[in-house]
Amino acid sequence: MLITLLPQHQEIDLPGRQRVADVLRQLGLLPGTVMVIRGDELVTERDFLEADDRVEIRSVISGGS
Amino acid sequence: MKCTRCHARAEVHIRHHNSAFCRGCYGTYFQRQVERAIHKEHMFTPDEDVLVAVSGGKDSLALWDALVTMGYRTTGLHLALGIGDYSAISTRKTEHFARERGLRLLTVPLEDETPGLGIMRVAGATNRKACAACGTVKRHYFDRIAAEQGFQVVATGHNLDDEAARLLGNVLHWQSDHLAKQSPVLVPTHEKFARKVKPFFRISEYETAVYAFFRGIDYVLDECPNSAGATQLVYKDVLNRLEAAMPGTKLTFVQEFLRTGRPAFAGEASSPPQTCESCGMPSYNGTCGFCRLVAEVTRRRNPLPHAGPA
Ligand SMILES: [Zn+2]
Ligand SMILES: [Zn+2]
């Protein structure tokens, strides 16, 4: 699966079918700090991502206020 | 996962509420949360005009969208801060948001107000940190424009994560005067102050981002270049680690502080402000922080001619 991390605009390729929670763990991301977007839908941490999926993982944290 | 309300496929899982939602039900859930906060904390009524401070980020645009959708009377206020491309994009997205929806937006370009007041130039020209100068300038304009244009209420998009991070900072330094004042509703202590409200104070950053995404709001994704390494982000990270291990930690931290912690600090609140000799806005000294900043910027730009021998 091809992952684009935002706002860093970093691309990461991960192999095989995997649960979202496991993908986040591998990337060192905590649940609740990112949205995982496939197409125009969100997927929850219990959903699976397929090997040929393209997803965007977008940080929800903003700093300073 | 299935939606807790209608059993369709869930797109969102809210761990601290132990529920999951499909897109349609999420909108209902989110607006109910906002409505409950506004109503329960007596923030404002549908008859009041609310000035919404909008930065172009997800929280403030989600707030404006939610208030408009819920039928509140709103005007947006945006400060063009002069932080390079980041500010240019923020202003463009905010103006686009307002135009698309036919909403009234007031934009204040700081560089037009006082040359040199743009945040990057202020930070360069004075010894102030950019974020401190930014805070001073924002507070001044929110208060001043609300007073000039007759708004009783100013709403900001501060969310649960912002409030929890701020609370953690105040507790770590035992800033009792700040703890006394940390509240989702600040009642005016000066005739030129509006009521300041935070309708998202119990709604997490994840929830506001999801709302913005579902509503198709085009917000600024990039972070303010000045916030890299900001202390608040360190606090947020710590809190998110606690939250991952113990869902509900952030909400309990803020909610129980407001219920049981804050009253204990009530006596620590600083005395009400006086009036700034220069601009007439509230001030804790003879001249307010904003006017002192402007004076410094102006002095640097137009230094007094050197008093040489005649
Ligand atoms: Zn549903
Ligand atoms: Zn002043």
Taking only the tens place, the pLDDT of each residue in B133-145 is: 888 999 999 999 9
Q: Classify residue B181 as exposed, middle or buried by CB count within 10 Å of its CB (0-12, 13-18, 19+).
A: middle
Distance B20 CA to ligand 1 centre (A): 8
| Ligand 1 centroid, distance to B2 Cα (angstroms) | 8
Average pLDDT for chain B? 93
**For B115-130, what is the mean pLDDT?**
82
pLDDT at B133: 87
Which pLDDT score is estimated for B265? Answer: 92
The reply to whether A62 touches chain B by the CB within 8 Å rule is yes
Lowest mean pLDDT, pick from A41-55, B55-69, B123-137, B144-158: B123-137
Contact residues, A window 16-55, toward B, CB-based 8 Å cutoff: 30-33, 35, 37, 41-47
Q: What is the pLDDT of residue B130?
A: 84
| Contact state of A35 with B210 under an 8 Å Cβ cutoff | yes
User: B303 versus B290: which is more confidently predicted?
Assistant: B290
- Alpha carbons B260 and B186: distance in angstroms, whole number: 18
Per-residue pLDDT, B125: 79
The per-residue pLDDT for range B143-199, each reduced to its tens digit, is: 999 999 999 999 999 999 999 999 999 999 999 999 999 999 999 999 999 999 999
Where residue B302 falls among pLDDT bands split at 50, 70, 90? confident
pLDDT at B72 over 60: yes
Write down the pLDDT at residue B122.
84
Nearest-CA distance A42 → chain B (Å): 5
pLDDT at residue B310 greater than cutoff 80: no
Which residues of chain A does B236 touch, with a Cβ-Cβ cutoff of 8 Å? 61, 63
Residues B116 and A65: their CA atoms lie apart, in Å, by 22
**Which runs of E-coded beta strand occur in B83-218?**
105-109, 153-155, 185-186, 195-197
pTM: 0.94
